[in-house]
Amino acid sequence: MTAMDRPRIGLLGLMLELYDKSTPSLRPEQEEFAARLVATLSQIADITFSGIVNTRAGVEQAMADMEAADVDMVTVVHFSYAPSLIALPSLQRCSRPVVLFNTQRKRGIGADFTPKDVLQNHGMHGQQDLANVLIRAQRRFGVVTGYWEDAETLAELAEWARAAVVARKMRRTEIGLVGYPFQDMGDFGVDETAFMAQVGPHVQHIPLDELAEAMQAAPDDELQEIVTGDQEQFEVTPELTPEEHMNSARAEWGLRQVVRQRNLDALAIHYEVFGADPRFSALPFAAVTKLMTEGIGFGGEGDIISAACVTAMHHLTGLSAFSEMFCMDFDGGGILMSHFAEGNLRLAAGKPRMIRREGWVGSGGVSSSIAFSFAPQDVTMVNLTIGMGGQPRLIATTARICDYSLMGGQTPHCRLEPVCGLKTFLDAYLHCGGSHHVALVQNDRLSLVEKFAELMDIELYII
Taking only the tens place, the pLDDT of each residue in 180-228 is 999 899 899 999 999 999 999 999 999 999 999 999 999 999 999 999 9
Cβ-contact 343, 372 below 8 angstroms:
yes
Residue 250: closest CA among 291, 273, 288, 282: 282
Query: How far is Cα 309 from Cα 304, in angstroms, rounded to an integer?
Result: 9
Q: How confident is the model over 272-296, as a mean pLDDT?
A: 92
pLDDT tens, residue by residue, 391-420: 999 999 999 999 999 998 999 999 999 999
Residues 6+ apart with CB under 8 A from 290: 252, 345, 370
Please determine, for residue 2, whether its predicted confidence score (pLDDT) is greater than 70: no
The bridge status of strand 438-442 relative to strand 353-360 is: unpaired
Amino acid present at 202: H
Residue 327, phi then psi, degrees to nearest 5: -140, 145
**Sheet with strand 202-206: strands edge to edge:** 202-206, 174-178, 266-269, 297-300
Is the Cβ–Cβ distance between 310 and 336 less than 8 Å? no
Name the 3-class secondary structure at 406. coil
pLDDT band at 278 (very low <50, low <70, confident <90, very high): confident
Instruction: Please choose, from the candidates 107, 92, 99, the residue with its C-alpha nearest in 3D space to the C-alpha of residue 158.
Output: 99
Q: How far apart are CA 198 and CA 457, in angstroms?
A: 9
Taken in order of first residue, the domains within the chain and their CATH numbers are 3-170 (3.40.50.10940), 174-462 (3.20.14)
The long-range contacts involving 184-192, CB below 8 angstroms and separated by at least 24 positions, are 185/301, 185/303, 187/385, 187/435, 187/436, 188/299, 188/301, 188/302, 188/303, 188/304, 188/305, 188/306, 188/385, 188/435, 188/437, 189/386, 190/304, 190/305, 190/386, 191/390, 192/304
Q: In this model, does residue 1 exceed pLDDT 50?
A: no
Q: What is the pLDDT of residue 102?
A: 98
| 258 phi, psi to nearest 5 deg | -65, -45
Helix (H, G, I), strand (E, B) or coil at 374: strand
Beta bridge partners of 227: none
How far apart (Å, rounded) are the C-alpha atoms in residues 218 and 257?
A: 9
Alpha-carbon gap, residue 340 to 363, rounded angstroms: 13
The length of the chain, given as a count of residues: 463
Task: Please check whether residue 344 is in contact with residue 319, taking contact to mean a CB–CB distance below 8 angstroms.
Answer: yes
Q: Give 3's pLDDT tier (boundaries 50, 70, 90).
A: very low
pLDDT in tens, 12-24: 999 999 999 999 9
Q: Which residue(s) pair with 76 in the sheet?
A: 12, 100
**Burial grade of 265 (CB within 10 A; 0-12, 13-18, 19 or more):** buried
In this prediction, residue 365 has a pLDDT band, given cuts at 50, 70 and 90, of confident
Phi, psi of 350 (to 5 degrees): 80, -170
Cβ atoms 390, 191 nearer than 8 A: yes
Whole-structure pTM value? 0.94
